[in-house]
Amino acid sequence: MEKGMQEYLREFGNEHQFPQEAMLVLTEAYEKIVASDQGRKVWDGWMQAYEQDVNIDYRKAMEELRKQAGQAQVHEYTSDLLLFMGFSRWTEKLYEKRGISRQIFHDSMEDLRWKLWECWNMYHVWGSFVAWWFQGFFDLTRFTLGRLEFELIPFPEDYEKAGEGRKKPLGMKQVVNMHIPSSGPLTMQDCEKSFAQALTFFKEAAADGQMGFVCSSWLLYPENKKILPASSNIAAFLNLFDIYQVKEDKEGGDLWRIFGQEYDGNPESLKEDTTLRRQYKKFLQDGGVPGYGEGIFFMRQE
């Protein structure tokens, strides 16, 4: 007999090392939502819709479940994460059908764990405040390969427009876009292992014997070279890229990724319990403006 959803949710949480308190909140939230006939109808309806076609309207699914969660006195961030935990039951089967390893499935679903902790650190809610981000993992367009997350996107038009002799490699139509989950230190050794996996996994994107890797992140902000020591992992990662676009972010929209709190424009209110936070806080106190960079580098296939 196939296991029930409640049992599956517990197994998923245990596999991905969710805290016991978080699992209690999530499983109780599920029971509260499906306790009503309408809540059960909405949950089962979206589970069935996802099994039939992964290209569902994820935002609509979250919106409808949030409505039921509100009536059951469950926080919307909790119901958002819960929804994707439920979807993952079928996602695993899709990986199997496509011949993608169980390890890659496991690592890709780990993103729910990192977002769970981000939500707790930011708002003291067990859930996710950026659940819209999960879609790429669940429509099987984004995958975690080791330390990094990757997906194919069209070759960035802004690269050649940036000038300075920049030219798209002959025949290259796609590049591998990368994301860096908040899962720990960003070492070059781990990054290189991930790049090697991506060269094989996305081999169809190669052209002229090489593959392009792009990233858009606060990590690629050139000012980081002034803020951080040259020996830092972030500086080493930044140096991989040809930074072809830089933008300031005066509102500090990505500073939560560094400080684990919303930025109110006052640097004095920011935490300084790590070296990175102390260095970035001083940068802001001295009048520095945060921002992000977009970069690309090319790797040749062996």
Return the HEC string of 67-130.
HHHHHCCCCHHHHHHHHHHHHHHHHHHHHHHCCCCHHHHHHHHHHHHHHHHHHHHHHCCCCCCC
Note whether 52 and 194 are same-domain residues.
no
- 130 and 147, same domain (yes or no): no
Same domain, 16 and 98: yes
- The structure's pTM equals 0.95
Q: Clarify whether residues 115 and 164 are in a common domain.
A: no
Domain housing 96: 5-135
Q: Are 73 and 159 found together in one domain?
A: no
The series of mean pLDDT values per 10 residues for the chain, 302 residues long, is 83 98 98 97 98 97 98 98 98 97 98 98 97 98 98 96 93 97 95 97 94 97 94 95 96 94 93 94 96 97 77
Q: Tell me what pLDDT residue 2 has.
A: 53
Structural domains counted in the chain = 2
Tokens of 281: 């806080």
Separation CA 167–CA 228 (nearest Å): 31
Clarify whether residues 149 and 280 are in a common domain. yes
Do 161 and 267 share a domain, yes or no?
yes
Beta bridge partners, 295, equal 215, 243
Q: What is the pLDDT of residue 1?
A: 37
Burial class (CB in 10 A: 0-12, 13-18, 19+), 132: exposed
Output the CA–CA distances (angstroms, integers) from residue 103 to 86, 95, 96, 145, 147, in the order listed.
19, 10, 11, 9, 13
* Domain end call among 135, 158, 191: 135
